[in-house]
Structure 1
Amino acid sequence: MAQIVLGPMLRRVDESTAAVWVETDSPCRVGVLDASAATFTVHGHHYALVEVSGLAPGSVTPYTVTLDGRTAWPEADSEFPPPVIRTVNPDGDHRLVLGSCRVSADEQYGDARFGVDMLAAFAHQLAADGDGTRPDALLMLGDQVYADIPPEEVRQFIRDRRDVSVPPGEEIADFEEYAELYRQSWAQPAVRWLLSTVPMLAIFDDHDLRDDWNTSMAWRDTMLKQPWWKRRVIAGLGSYWIYQHLGNMSPKDRAEDPLFAALRESDGDGAAALDEFAWRAWEDSTSVRWSFQQEFGGTRLIMLDSRCARDLTPRKRRIVDEPEWDWFREQATAECDQLLIASSVPVLLPTGLHYVESWNEAVCDGVWGKTFAKLAEKIRQTIDLEHWGAFRESFQRMSFLIMERVRGNWGKAPAAVVFLSGDVHYSYLAKARIRSARGMVHQVTCSAIRHPLPRLLRWANVVGSVRVAGIFGYLLARLARVHRTPFSWRMNRGPWFDNALATVDLSGRKTRARWHTASVAEPKRLRELGSAELS
């Protein structure tokens, strides 16, 4: 008799359809409401994605999950309410919750090292408040799992199956270990319930694969020399497709996806097809598009891959390659009330750090000669100088596109263009200053869900956020012949170093952002860090 291993997870939900993802311990048929799907098998694991259709816009529908006709979820003794599917109301208000960087620790709610788990805290708050505060989506903006820093239970799992004195040691090595990492990360009762009742949309960042993933061509060349790396890449990108990307797709995209069709139609294990796809995605970033978009009434959300789609060619670096940029430009120039651009790494960093990253890229590219270029590459990898400021050509493109949008040069200007990001392990709001703009531009950053910065690095980031640091960074960049940015911006909320989740509320052409945290002492109660009107 089949059992659920992980899930159910409510994935993309629009006005009339919903996707429910499940992992089971044996082949079976998974049912949700009037829809069902047979499991498919990959590396000995069994998965199903059930597509529910015909739902009414703005409706709230309780659901159960059946395996071969037998009810398997929700559990009878759960402390949480039954899960529901809440469809998007195109004429109503909308709420998105976002965050990034979550380590899975042994203690369910919080501990001294990693602090409170904001997903668990949010789950309890949501269960207490009821459906009235339920968001339209939970945006996971990277580092959903830490393949290079797995929790102790996963490290024990690794030690029990192979010799950890051989690289990659206690890091994740293959698909089986990734599957265990995802299970340990998302099977805690509060988190499991949250993911069963709030639609999740996700994009990866470096730790989903490994720290500094695609920082530079030098980093990439170094990793390719490691005998264990190919296996890790195949497992990392393959498991990401299964556990995260599959649920991001629209019903149309899934229906047209050749890999999904191959896995469902396979009579046996589809590991070979998935592994081939994953290695091709690593070798050729143009072979797959991880980015996607979704509408929430008059708001357009674009989840942009700024990690795997990078072009790392020295002196021609792009944080998104040409095909990805062409797709993004088409999506970002469509008319909408608000434009939300989710990039795992911030577009608008504190200005001092932005200019230091631009200086570093210029020096890496040889503006100060070969000796300094080698030193700059070491600095780039050591202190993670890899955000949009470190890819100047892409930043310029993004800047001019956004300036044209908010000035109304491509149709009606959106009331707000908001960058949504994580990665940096602190939260803040930055506001751009653009002349003749008819809409506002902000950077909303929320990180970490559960992985706070050490105290020394907190002070370093506070110093980097002050005005004098911006002046220093600009002067340093000018020494490397880096020009001033097309517009200026400054941080006007934060930085906050608490574990946090951010909420973006959308009402017509009005947008508001709030940040919340919780404490280990009171891990089930949220308190507000700050808020701001964005339009």
Structure 2
Amino acid sequence: MKPLTTLFFCILLNSNLVGQENHIQLPPQLLSGPMVGHTTSSLANIWLETDKAADVKVHYWVESGSSPIVKGVAGGRTSEEAPHVGTVILDNLPARGILHYELEIDGQAVRPQTVQSFMLMPEPETTADFKVAFASCINPIRVPLQPIWTQVAIFNPDALLLIGDNNYMPMRPGAYEAPESTVSFALTRYHRYLRDIPGLRTVLATTPTYAIWDDHDFGPNNSDRTFRWRNLTLDLFKKYWPNPSAGTPETPGIFYSFKIADVEFFMLDDRYHRDPNEAPDRATMLGSGQLSWLREKLKASTATFKVIVNGHTMTIDRQDAGEYWANFGSERDDFLNWMFSEGINGVFFISGDWHVGSLSRIDFSKEGYPLYELISSNAAVHPVEADDHLYRQNRQTSGHNRRFDGPIINDILDYNFGLLEFSGKEGDRAVTLKLIDHRGEVRAAHVLREKDLTR
């Protein structure tokens, strides 16, 4: 009888423990992040996601030249409703200091999974030297281990721009014929899993990061304003990317601008207001509200360089090959003619989408200066290796990316990211446009001086 009694007692004890587990409240856990968002010379945003609503603290200290170390703590709370995301603002920081930070969630310290340090921005309107990296087309499903982020970290940019196709949501429109709760569940996971990519996780925790979208992280392939879930995807994008703003009170979208030293970046939304590519009466890619905002911002800008950033090409006429702004009536030409008529200097363009890296010069008008567009794509969407002859042959002979005039640098098919290096004294500023591959090799470099972009 003794063994049976012991067995009965064990079963009873285990059943009681199971019952108790159902009532145990586990403390909140870090689900995603941390990620450094919009940063200035005196302010930084730290974004994170928890598995339930939680109070969050960021403990930080700043090294700044010969000045004493500055130590502080800032707090916030993740949202009550899922996804439980939040941003903690660190303010009154010393310019150009190196900031180190640690997280605390509901009173419990969170052990860092990677380095959590970054440098604050130069003072506004100064002529400091700094670097900005950018990339597009990131597909964790195809490429779960992405070597490009190791190279981004090695080049140590002051900021990172993720400019579209930052993840690949379902490409077929039929995939979205599901209840809203199901679509929301899936899109949330795509945003979250992007932040789990080895290497990228470290870059996001150590580099102020800004984002816009293109079709694959907005919705299905080549999606536009007719996408039935555009408001849902807009809401989720704003929750997962701590950009300085998103749209205007009158015009929804993800577009915004920000400055680093004497350079201003204009981050555009090429999806929310876009006419369908196939519509015979297509007339707008950006929408009238966003175009008005862009014109006002450019006219008011005092920046030496004005960088217009979009998910896909802005200046190039691809002659019916893929997606491009010139495919929407006269909107592109009207804008560029307006830009030159207003005497707006210092503009160049960066974009992604094509799964290549390239640089083009377009002599659009005798009334203005040459238009340069640096394209960086395939950060990690197609595993191109030296022996992938078929893929290379198809891309190089199909003309998919060469149906236009003006290439300075022909297609780089390997994994790549772009790097903008700003330097020089006031009145003689320069930017070096670079394309760098996953081995760290600088595959292309072109210098633009301030005078090259002056009418």
Distance 1:440 1:15, change over 3 A: farther
Q: Which residue of 2 aligns with 1:376?
A: none
Higher helix share: 1
Higher strand share: 2
Residue 102 (structure 2) pairs with residue 64 (structure 1): yes
Is the CA contact (8 Å cut-off) linking 2:251 and 2:289 kept in structure 1? Answer: no
Cα distance, 1:107 vs structure 2 = 5.8
TM-score by length of 1: 0.67
Q: Which residue of 1 aligns with 2:166?
A: 144
Q: Aligned partners of 1:142, 1:166: CA distance in 2, in Å?
A: 20
Q: Aligned partners of 2:436, 2:210: CA distance in 1, in Å?
A: 20
Question: What letter matches 1:146 in structure 2?
Answer: Y
Cα distance, 1:497 vs structure 2 = 1.1
Q: Aligned partners of 1:85, 1:503: CA distance in 2, in Å?
A: 17
Match of 1:18 among 24, 41, 44: 44
Measured on the aligned residues, the alpha-carbon RMSD in Å equals 2.9
Q: Which residue of 2 aligns with 1:421?
A: 351
Residue 236 (structure 2) pairs with residue 239 (structure 1): yes
Distance 1:98 1:511, change over 3 A: same
Residue 313 (structure 2) pairs with residue 346 (structure 1): yes
Is the CA contact (8 Å cut-off) linking 2:326 and 2:333 kept in structure 1? Answer: no
Cα distance, 1:307 vs structure 2 = 1.6
Q: Aligned partners of 1:106, 1:322: CA distance in 2, in Å?
A: 37
Matches within 5 A, 1:263-274: none
Q: Aligned partners of 2:198, 2:48: CA distance in 1, in Å?
A: 15
Cα distance, 1:248 vs structure 2 = 0.8
Matches within 5 A, 1:13-92: 13-33=39-59, 34-42=73-81, 44-75=82-113, 78=114, 81-90=115-124, 91=126, 92=128
Distance 1:45 1:335, change over 3 A: closer
Is the CA contact (8 Å cut-off) linking 1:101 and 1:144 kept in structure 2? Answer: yes
Is the CA contact (8 Å cut-off) linking 1:56 and 1:87 kept in structure 2? Answer: no
Unaligned runs of 5+ in 1: 110-115, 126-132, 151-164, 224-229, 258-285, 358-382, 471-488, 519-524
Is the CA contact (8 Å cut-off) linking 1:97 and 1:139 kept in structure 2? Answer: yes
Match of 1:309 among 260, 273, 283: 273
Q: Which residue of 2 aligns with 1:202?
A: 211
Matches within 5 A, 1:323-334: 323-333=289-299, 334=301
Post-superposition Cα deviations, 1:281-308, rounded to whole Å, max 9, x if no partner, equal: xxxxx64142100111111110011221
Q: SS of the residue aligned with 1:41?
A: coil
Cα distance, 1:18 vs structure 2 = 0.9
Cα distance, 1:242 vs structure 2 = 1.1
Match of 2:325 among 382, 388, 396: 388
Size of the aligned set, in residue pairs, is 390
Distance 1:436 1:94, change over 3 A: farther
Cα distance, 1:459 vs structure 2 = 2.5
Q: Which residue of 2 aligns with 1:134?
A: 156
- The higher radius of gyration belongs to 2
Distance 1:338 1:389, change over 3 A: same
Is the CA contact (8 Å cut-off) linking 2:137 and 2:352 kept in structure 1? Answer: yes
Matches within 5 A, 1:268-307: 287-307=251-271
TM-score by length of 2: 0.78
Q: Aligned partners of 1:289, 1:106: CA distance in 2, in Å?
A: 29
Question: What letter matches 2:422 in structure 1?
Answer: L
Distance 1:88 1:178, change over 3 A: farther
Cα distance, 1:501 vs structure 2 = 0.4
Q: Aligned partners of 1:329, 1:74: CA distance in 2, in Å?
A: 43
Post-superposition Cα deviations, 1:144-192, rounded to whole Å, max 9, x if no partner, equal: 1111169xxxxxxxxxxxxxx98759xx942222222222221134211
Q: SS of the residue aligned with 2:406?
A: strand
Q: Which residue of 2 aligns with 1:506?
A: 422
Q: Aligned partners of 1:166, 1:195: CA distance in 2, in Å?
A: 30
Q: SS of the residue aligned with 1:449?
A: coil
Q: Which residue of 1 aligns with 2:396?
A: 459
Q: Matched residues, percent identical?
A: 21
Q: Aligned partners of 1:17, 1:459: CA distance in 2, in Å?
A: 46
Q: Aligned partners of 1:493, 1:64: CA distance in 2, in Å?
A: 43
Cα distance, 1:88 vs structure 2 = 3.4
Q: Aligned partners of 1:179, 1:289: CA distance in 2, in Å?
A: 18
Q: Which residue of 1 aligns with 2:244?
A: 249
Q: Aligned partners of 1:106, 1:460: CA distance in 2, in Å?
A: 24
Distance 1:85 1:40, change over 3 A: farther
Cα distance, 1:528 vs structure 2 = 1.4
